[in-house]
Amino acid sequence: MLQTVNPFLVAGFLFFMSLIAGTISEKLKVPALILFLAIGMIAGVDGPGGLEFSDAQATNDIGTFALSFILFSGGFQTKWSDIRPIVTQGVVLSTLGVLLTAIAMAVPLSMLPQFNYKDAFLLGAIISSTDAAAVFSILRTQKVGVKGALKPLLEFESGSNDPMAVFLTLTAITWLKTPDVPVGELALKFVVQMAAGGAMGFLMGRFACWAIQRLRVTNEALYPVWGISIVLATFGLTETVYGNGYLAVYVCGIVMGGGDFLYKYSLQRFHEGFAWLMQIIMFLVLGLLVSPREVFNASVIGTGILVSVCLMFLARPVAVFICTTFSKFSVMEKLFVSWTGLRGAVPIILATYPLTEGHPQAKYMFNLIFFVVLSSVMLQGKTLADAAKFLRLDAAVREAKTWTLNFDITPASGDDVTREVDLLPDAEVIGHTVRELNFPDGVTILLINRGDKYLIPKGWTTLERDDTLLLFGDKAKLNEVELNLAKRADPKNV
């Protein structure tokens, strides 16, 4: 049994098994987070591992720490140009949509004999938000391609709606403890949290970009320490001024992702790997905390199926269709957004709040929510690609290029940066040689990606359809070059 083995060996073994699980998840067509949870459950008290862990407060603290880095990394990898057209719609879904989901779930739950209307609202609040870790993981690692602005909308919504779910959960707990709390006081608290969270995230993101350019650390290996400190400081400062730390770190990540600063590429890759580590730790701990014997019993399964059905086919669609009433999204697109309401670690973490508060039904609620999350990820997560195809919203996935050479912004780079440019099939430059491009001085093509090959460009190299160019040069000049490369050929000359 694992509990009799050296703890360092146990940790190393669990991380190694999680690495293997993450590698094979795509082949098995099972979301990686499910496998991480399964490893934790196998290592737990009811599994062959026999590890005893029942500290809900520690789980809550670990989840808060891990989620802050997951959200920051998600924001860091999000391009502002992608989400700008859908920001308004995303904000509506991540606030009003979460509230409507909680209410829509509370109504049928209050009809069950196990819950009164206050407990029903608490449960609805806990499972009201889509989970960033689940959505980021499945959309990016499962290579689910969708048309238009759907993917940035779903990622933005999942990254920004956790603050609303946290607020509603804590509000519901406050309501249970203090029934006569003024509604106006709660509304004011919400406005302050959201406003302070957004403002602090923006300011810290701008400060980080400015400071990192002037903080010339002699050892570049220390820049990840700088990145960690920014996330922790942003979350901590925001919570200190009564803002929402989750929203702040996500906004901070978006701001930093849109900036240019020293060793940005290296820092981005570090946070991507660190976010994966946080996901593994978070799901392993959640798996250790749960007892499979308590989750998979007739009472939890029966109610859990009912809750899952209401959530997937009633509450989420109602919230989405109301929030997108005046949008340009088609019915098919709204249906897909409704189906992508994946639940993940956040509802399970929020379910630890009633445990720490000593709610009489806290353990039952925790097991119920764990079952709902499993059913959501297994059913919705595994069928995202099929749903996109069925609704005729699927699109080819543009895989990120793995360049044979990596270039980063260093003190010696000055204002020069690298940029990837995809050539459209009908681009005017198709069929022209590199020397015919007439780039401005200081802009050059470092590499050309063509299928599985990487070409070192020569003057006589001819550009072909779907080539990807890795450019290097002054940022302002690169903007001009990118516009020229995007020009479409005159159909008469094709």
Pick the last residue of a domain from 360, 390, 420: 390
pLDDT of residue 404: 55
pLDDT of residue 103: 95
Q: Indicate whether 400 belongs to any domain.
A: no
- pLDDT-derived band at 398 (thresholds 50, 70, 90) equals low
Q: Indicate whether 402 belongs to any domain.
A: no
Pick the last residue of a domain from 390, 424, 457: 390
Higher pLDDT, 220 or 455: 455
Residue 234 in tokens: 């942003």
Query: How crowded is the C-beta side of 325, counted as CA atoms within 13 Å?
Result: 6
Q: Do 310 and 448 share a domain, yes or no? A: no
Q: Indicate whether 254 belongs to any domain.
A: yes
DSSP annotation string for 289-354: HS-HHHHSSHHHHHHHHHHHHHIIIIIHHHHHHHHTTTSS--HHHHHHHHHT----HHHHHHTHHH
State pLDDT tens for residues 265-322. Answer: 888 889 989 998 998 999 999 999 998 888 999 889 999 999 999 999 999 999 999 9
The one-letter amino acid at 155: E
Query: How crowded is the C-beta side of 266, counted as CA atoms within 13 Å?
Result: 14
pLDDT of residue 489: 63
Higher pLDDT, 443 or 402: 443
Q: Which residues contact 203 (CB under 8 A, 6 or more apart)?
A: none
Q: Do 158 and 268 share a domain, yes or no? A: yes
Q: Indicate whether 405 belongs to any domain.
A: no
Q: Do 255 and 123 share a domain, yes or no? A: yes
Q: Do 359 and 484 share a domain, yes or no? A: no
What CA–CA distance (Å, rounded) separates 332 from 127? 24
Q: Do 158 and 294 share a domain, yes or no? A: yes
Q: Do 338 and 451 share a domain, yes or no? A: no
State pLDDT tens for residues 405-416. Answer: 556 666 555 556
- pLDDT-derived band at 452 (thresholds 50, 70, 90) equals confident
Contact 109, 307 (CB under 8 A): yes
Show the CA angle centred on residue 333, arms to residues 327 and 338, nearest 5°: 95
Q: Is the pLDDT of residue 108 over 60?
A: yes
Residue 243 in tokens: 């803002």
Q: Indicate whether 434 belongs to any domain.
A: yes
- pLDDT-derived band at 251 (thresholds 50, 70, 90) equals very high
What CATH number corresponds to the domain at position 186? 1.20.1530.20
Out of 26-30, 222-226, 346-350, 382-386, pick the least confident: 26-30
- Full residue range of the structural domain in which residue 457 is found: 411-493
Measured in degrees and rounded to the nearest 5, phi and psi for residue 488 equal: -90, 150
DSSP state of 439: P
pLDDT of residue 494: 46
Q: Do 202 and 155 share a domain, yes or no? A: yes
pLDDT of residue 491: 54
Out of 142-151, 192-201, 344-353, 365-374, pick the least confident: 142-151
pLDDT of residue 2: 65
Q: Is the pLDDT of residue 456 over 90?
A: no
Q: Do 244 and 376 share a domain, yes or no? A: yes
Q: Is the pLDDT of residue 490 over 90?
A: no
Pick the last residue of a domain from 341, 361, 390: 390
What CATH number corresponds to the domain at position 433? 3.30.70.1450
Q: Do 121 and 177 share a domain, yes or no? A: yes
State pLDDT tens for residues 158-208. Answer: 888 888 999 899 888 988 888 777 878 888 888 899 999 999 999 999 999
What average pLDDT does this structure show over 76-96?
87
Q: Do 320 and 458 share a domain, yes or no? A: no
Decide: residue 396, CB within 10 A, 0-12 exposed, 13-18 middle, 19+ buried. Answer: exposed
Higher pLDDT, 203 or 143: 203
Q: Indicate whether 360 belongs to any domain.
A: yes
Q: Do 381 and 427 share a domain, yes or no? A: no
Higher pLDDT, 424 or 62: 62
**Count of domains observed in the chain:** 2
Q: Is the pLDDT of residue 400 over 70?
A: no
Percent of the chain beyond pLDDT 90? Answer: 36
Q: Indicate whether 398 belongs to any domain.
A: no
Q: Do 234 and 333 share a domain, yes or no? A: yes
